[in-house]
Amino acid sequence: MKRARVAYAGAVHDATPHEDGLQLADGRVLAEDAVVWLPPVEPLGTILALGLNYADHAKELAKELTTSAKDEPLVFLKGPNALIGHRGQTRRPRDATFMHYECELAVVIGRTAKNVPRDAAMAYIAGYTVANDYAIRDYLENYYRPNLRVKNRDGCTALGPWLVEAADVPEPGALELSTRVNGKLVQRGNTRDLVTGIAELIEYLSSFMTLAPGDVILTGTPEGVVDVQPGDEVVCEIEGIGRLVNTIAGDETFGR
């Protein structure tokens, strides 16, 4: 089952897909552009994100960095202010010289997880959604360690449109990912190439912190990032999960 959260007529509604757009829980059918899409998970818990979790992307952005099976995953936290929904706008600051998208499979935790072994980890997942986690290379402290204003800017992470129940995604470790900018294919990958897989991530994270229902794990992005400019439409798509549309806007759109 797929479900979303949208704002319409002054209220927040649950919604499901419909051939004419989407259907609210009260039965009303609306066009996709008639609502304001919200992140499909209310951002009340912890948002964890993986850096350099695809070997090809690690080589693309940090050629001096080597990875091995002994390396711990590079994980950082994001605030709820960073999240926006499907069809939202993300600001490109005037001083940015290189800003890029990051198409990622997002894992949503379904029940409290503490010290979970990897062979049981998948049972703790509620579902999956699509994330587009933008980065501005100019703002990095160094070439491979993201700092606060790279990954916690307001509206820098689009999430959605749908939360797909885990039972409807039998092979989350073999999903095609792609990104298109203004219709041109610029990024392609597959979750089978994750350096640290989903079950291993849950095992690792739950070994030192308690994961709670609603927590979100962004699993990383493959190679293929290019600079985006105001006015660009960026579409991130993951097989069986959904198609997330986002637009880049300049400072003037945000009154800056």
pLDDT in tens, 197-245: 999 999 999 999 999 999 999 999 999 999 999 999 999 999 999 999 9
The 10s digit of each residue's pLDDT in 132-158 is: 999 998 887 665 555 788 889 999 999
Q: Rounded distance, CA 82 to CA 211, Å?
A: 20
For the whole prediction, is pTM greater than 0.75? Answer: yes
Q: Please, what are the domains in the chain? A: 1-38 (2.30.30.370), 43-254 (3.90.850.10)
Please name the residue that has the structure tokens 């890029």.
100
In the chain, beta strands by DSSP E: 2-8, 11-18, 21-24, 29-30, 36-38, 47-51, 74-78, 83-84, 88-91, 99-100, 103-109, 125-133, 135-136, 157-165, 176-181, 184-190, 216-218, 233-238, 242-249
